[in-house]
Amino acid sequence: MRGRRIHHLLVKDGALRAGIVSDRDLGGRLSATATGDRTVASLMTPKVVTVDANATVRQIANVMRGRSIGCVVVTERDRTVGLITISDLLELIGRGSERPGANKPSARAPSPGAAPSTHTPFGVW
């Protein structure tokens, strides 16, 4: 995760969402110590917060702020289609998406076949 600058990984158990592992769960980005013999199951946050792919950026930001979490899983018909992180939201703000007349980006996850961002990994399988 550190080498690829990934801050959140979705943990799956078969087809089911089992949890989220964040860089904080692993000791944070400044931690030089590995977690040793610990399992992903012992490190992950088992409660996965999801938002619908049709949610607005404001709704997603409010969910994340209200729960003090760094990412949400985006679903469409209960199928995981992406992750949205605090970094993604800050990037939108930094591009000025809230200015009058600016193109307002969609909160939808990338379409299948689109190039994945570094914030949408799917895999501790």
pLDDT digits (tens, 9 = 90+) for 36-88: 677 888 889 998 999 999 999 999 999 999 999 999 999 999 899 999 999 89
Terminal C-alpha separation, the chain: 15
pLDDT for residue 4: 86
At 10 the pLDDT is: 93
Q: Residue 53: left if φ>0, alpha if ψ -120 to 50, beta else—which one?
A: alpha
For residue 89, pLDDT over 50 is answered with: yes
Q: What is the pLDDT of residue 49?
A: 95
Provide mean pLDDT across the span 100-116: 45
